């Protein structure tokens, strides 16, 4: 079970939003690369980046900050003889050239969200050209997928799309309950499990992690196909201690 710290980028800074609302923002760091190193030093085995400006603009906006993060993390791993920490990124990725450029920067996974819904042909092409590197982000409310930085709610059913994209060859699905994201109200584990049971690719949970109890509850159903969980506001505000949670996960998986 991967515990994946989130680094949300807005105007070059590390922030967190409540329910994806750009007006409800808390700035946690003016230096996202330093924040990335902080989580790596705390034991993070993967990092999750989101270009929030890019999600709304439909094109990369915080690319410079992303490159700084990748260089910092790769440099730290090399200097300390550590394994590379995979980094995944979503937000404003709408074409193959952008995917290729980001992978060339050193990112391991590219997350396709809005473009997967609006242009499934692009997603299918990306999976074919960059096999093993494409993750789909399904952000939903009451089972329906949202797009354009969560500003628009579509008629598409989460499970229906998950099965469709599985056939394209995606690496995993990140499932976010947008009603809970940034609210510290606990994960929607039931909905996450339903999706994981319906598809044959790993599912990463997201949205609402509050405490170690959420991590324990997710570990209890990890056999359903749940690979990890993205941790945001909880680790920034201290309601979840990343190191403690990782020890808990390691103990549960070793038992």
Catalytic residues, by residue number, are: 8, 139
Which residue's structure tokens are 């579509």? 154
CB 110 within 8 A of CB 99: yes
Length of the chain counted residue by residue: 255
Q: Which residues pair with residue 141 across a beta bridge?
A: 144
Closest listed residue to residue 84, CA positions, set 74, 99, 93: 74
Check residue 186 and give left, alpha or beta (phi > 0: left; psi -120 to 50: alpha).
left
Q: Report the first-to-last Cα separation within the chain, whole angstroms.
A: 14
CA geometry: angle 15, 65, 133, nearest 5 deg: 95
Which residues, in sequence order, are CB contacts of 75 under 8 Å at separation 6+?
none
Tokens of 70: 């990748």
């Amino acid at each position: 079970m991967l515990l994946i710290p989130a680094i949300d980028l807005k105007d070059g800074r590390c922030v967190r939003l409540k329910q994806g609302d750009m007006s409800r923002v808390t700035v946690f760091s003016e230096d996202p690369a330093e924040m990335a190193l902080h989580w790596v030093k705390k034991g993070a085995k993967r990092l999750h980046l989101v270009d929030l400006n890019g999600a709304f603009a439909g094109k990369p906006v915080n690319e410079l900050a992303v490159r700084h993060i990748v260089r910092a993390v790769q440099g730290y791993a090399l200097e300390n003889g550590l394994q590379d920490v995979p980094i995944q990124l979503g937000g404003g990725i709408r074409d193959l050239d952008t995917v290729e450029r980001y992978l060339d920067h050193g990112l391991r996974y590219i997350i396709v969200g809005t473009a997967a819904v609006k242009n499934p042909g692009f997603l299918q092409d990306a999976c074919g050209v960059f096999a093993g590197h494409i993750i789909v982000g399904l952000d939903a409310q009451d089972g329906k997928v949202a797009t354009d930085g969560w500003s628009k709610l579509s008629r598409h059913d989460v499970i229906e799309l998950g099965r469709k994209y599985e056939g394209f060859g995606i690496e995993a699905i990140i499932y976010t309950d947008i009603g809970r994201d940034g609210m510290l109200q606990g994960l929607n584990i039931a909905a996450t499990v339903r999706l994981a049971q319906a598809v044959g690719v790993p599912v990463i949970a997201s949205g609402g992690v509050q405490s170690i109890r959420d991590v324990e509850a997710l570990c209890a159903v990890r056999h359903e196909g749940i690979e990890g969980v993205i941790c945001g506001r909880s680790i920034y505000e201290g309601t979840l201690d990343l190191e403690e949670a990782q020890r808990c996960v390691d103990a549960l998986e070793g038992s």
